[in-house]
Structure 1
Amino acid sequence: MTADEEVLLAVHTTVAHHDDARRLARQVIRDGLAACAQLEPIESLYIWKGELVEEQEIRITFKTTRQRRQALMEVIREAHPYDIPAITATPLQDPDPAYERWVIEQTQPKA
């Protein structure tokens, strides 16, 4: 494994409904693309089709590796209920070594 593959990431997206968040999180974790997912309610305000939208959403944060980022983002895009989902990735700085090993182990491609 190279140093680049070992970098941990938090990949974020939002969905409108808790059921959609759980469905997407389960799929990603079962596929081994993330070690875990955190779901949290948020309030979002944005312009969509010329109108100001204010709504409750669920933010999903997936913990993964740089090696699995592209495949994870593709699954999110394909399974996401939004026309244009927000998908972002943030490097995790100085993770605890035991946690880092666990995330890497959980996201290793299955033979």
Structure 2
Amino acid sequence: MRKAIIIYATFPNMESAKDIVKSLLEKNLIGCANLREHKAMYVWKGQIEEEDEVGAILKTTDDRWEMVKEFINKVHPYETPAILKIDVSDANKGFLDWIFDVVK
């Protein structure tokens, strides 16, 4: 049985996020993405960093996880991008019908 998942990934700017998301949509690897600009604070090489960043919520199916993760890793501008799989234990039927129809 297919399962819906959410993938959370971050990008350095809106342009790179939109370019990668558009490619994922064109490849039918995701059905939808929500992009939000935010401030990121993190430790990198022993230093506290603060940067503007774009977070992407990617809606897709579990059988696409490895392909999405591999594609983002391949084209992402960060040395170590965050690509996180979030299992969806339940969702409304209309959304599930739509995501399973779109991501084939």
Superposed, which structure 2 residues align to 1:53-64 within 5 Å?
53-64=49-60
* Residue number in structure 1 paired with 2:31: 35
Runs of 4+ residues over 4 Å off in structure 1: none
Question: Which region of structure 1 is more displaced relative to structure 2, 45-54 or 80-89?
Answer: 45-54
* Residue number in structure 2 paired with 1:103: 99
**Residue correspondences, number:** 104
1:106, distance to aligned residue in structure 2 (A): 1.1
- 2:18 is paired with a residue of what secondary structure? helix
Unmatched segments (≥5 aa) in structure 1? none
Q: Using structure 1 for the length normalisation, give the TM-score.
A: 0.89
Q: Using structure 2 for the length normalisation, give the TM-score.
A: 0.95
- Equivalent-residue separation in structure 2 for 1:72 and 1:44 (angstroms): 23
- Equivalent-residue separation in structure 1 for 2:36 and 2:30 (angstroms): 17
* Residue number in structure 1 paired with 2:40: 44
| CA RMSD across the alignment | 0.9
1:7, distance to aligned residue in structure 2 (A): 1.0
- Equivalent-residue separation in structure 1 for 2:82 and 2:97 (angstroms): 28
- Equivalent-residue separation in structure 1 for 2:69 and 2:83 (angstroms): 7
1:29, distance to aligned residue in structure 2 (A): 0.6
One-letter code of the match for 2:7?
Answer: V
One-letter code of the match for 2:101?
Answer: E
* Residue number in structure 1 paired with 2:14: 18
- Equivalent-residue separation in structure 2 for 1:54 and 1:38 (angstroms): 22
The counterpart of 2:75, out of the listed 79, 83, 89, is 79
* Residue number in structure 2 paired with 1:69: 65
One-letter code of the match for 2:64?
Answer: R
- Equivalent-residue separation in structure 2 for 1:31 and 1:106 (angstroms): 11
